[in-house]
């Protein structure tokens, strides 16, 4: 069985300070992990993905995430927040099992960036 | 790559009316997914197609909902006899896919959704 937990429903940071959005996963099989961003009234945009290659994954807009198998975590970070980063972020796990696979979404983290 | 497009972007209708949404996936993608998203929540899976075959439907998809992908390209989602609880954002996504493990790492690409409001 697979599941994903986003540990914070809301995160507030000041512009120019680091961003940390936390995601823990559970999977019986080797997972693929994704982070998506969703701005108001828009669809989900892929930020980055982990697919069993390098454990440190770089994405768009300066975001990166590190896959830590021992901690079953895939936290999203950015060194310096920008006002345009304010949005909802979703962590997603996908893993093959029992002859199929499916996207499992976390409940989302709303990032607020303060001027 | 023109992305996934959905039409209309917004739909306002009265309770009891039928509505139909369209999704045009990325052309080379054989899988197409429909999700529903309510305010403050993550997307909930409704159904997906591989080419023209509808391979899975969620229990959320009541008999008032029907989806088609007649030629394995665009898809339509129809809701009959709409209810207040159907108000939501309906998202479409597409990806490469297949019944093999290597496809589990393929990302889904989302459209901007259709926001349905029931009066």
| pLDDT, tens digit, 9 for 90 and up, residues A44-78 | 999 999 987 789 999 999 999 999 999 999 999 99
Tokens of A60: 């768009």
| Percentage above 90 pLDDT, chain A | 77
Residues of chain B with pLDDT under 50: none
Q: Answer whether residue A26 shows pLDDT above 80.
A: yes
CA distance B111 to A24: 26
Residues in chain A closer than 8 A to B110 (CB atoms) = 36, 43-45
Q: What is the DSSP string of A12-35?
A: EEETTS-EEE-EEEE-SS-EEEEE
Residues in chain B closer than 8 A to A42 (CB atoms) = 112-113
Residues in chain A closer than 8 A to B41 (CB atoms) = 107-108
Residues of B numbered 20-49 whose beta carbons fall under 8 angstroms of chain A's beta carbons: which are they?
33, 40-43, 45
pLDDT at B1: 54
Cis amide linkage into residue B78, ω under 30° from 0: no
Mutate to test the interface with A, among B44, B105, B116 (most CBs of A within 10 A): B105
User: What is the rounded average pLDDT for all residues in chain A?
Assistant: 93
Listed in sequence order, the residues at least 6 apart from A13 whose beta carbon sits closer than 8 Å to its beta carbon are A19, A81, A111, A112, A113, A114
pLDDT digits (tens, 9 = 90+) for B61-82: 889 999 999 988 999 999 999 9
> Chain A: nearest CA to B8, how far in angstroms?
13
| Contact B91/A at CB under 8 A | yes
Residues in chain A closer than 8 A to B103 (CB atoms) = 101
**Count of residues for chain A?**
115
Q: Answer whether residue A29 shows pLDDT above 90.
A: no
User: A52–B115: do the CB atoms touch at under 8 Å?
Assistant: no
Model confidence at A1, pLDDT cuts 50, 70, 90, reads: confident
pLDDT at A28: 79
pLDDT at A95: 79
pLDDT at A85: 98
Residues in chain B closer than 8 A to A101 (CB atoms) = 101, 103-104
| Contact A102/B at CB under 8 A | yes
CA–CA distance from A11 to each of A5, A18, A42, A109 (Å)?
A: 15, 11, 20, 7
Listed in sequence order, the residues at least 6 apart from B66 whose beta carbon sits closer than 8 Å to its beta carbon are B77, B78, B80
């Amino acid at each position: 069985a697979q599941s994903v937990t986003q540990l914070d429903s809301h995160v507030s940071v000041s512009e120019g300070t680091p961003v940390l959005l936390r995601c823990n996963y559970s999977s019986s099989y080797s997972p693929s992990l994704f982070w998506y961003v969703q701005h108001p009234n828009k669809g989900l945009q892929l930020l980055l993905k982990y697919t069993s290659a390098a454990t440190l994954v770089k994405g768009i807009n300066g975001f990166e995430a590190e896959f830590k198998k021992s901690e079953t975590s895939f936290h999203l970070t950015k060194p310096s927040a920008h006002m345009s980063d304010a949005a909802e972020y979703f962590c997603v796990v996908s893993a093959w099992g029992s002859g199929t696979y499916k996207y499992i979404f976390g409940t989302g983290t709303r990032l607020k960036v303060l001027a | 790559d023109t992305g996934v497009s959905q039409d209309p972007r917004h739909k306002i209708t009265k309770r009891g009316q039928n509505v139909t949404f369209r999704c045009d996936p990325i052309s080379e993608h054989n899988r197409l997914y429909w999700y529903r998203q309510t305010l403050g929540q993550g997307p909930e899976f409704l159904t997906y197609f591989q080419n023209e075959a509808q391979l899975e439907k969620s229990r959320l998809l009541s008999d008032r909902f029907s989806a088609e992908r007649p030629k394995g390209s665009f898809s339509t989602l129809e809701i009959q006899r709409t209810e207040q609880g159907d108000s939501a954002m309906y998202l479409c996504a597409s990806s490469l896919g297949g019944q093999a493990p290597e496809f589990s790492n393929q990302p889904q690409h989302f459209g901007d959704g259709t926001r349905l409001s029931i009066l």
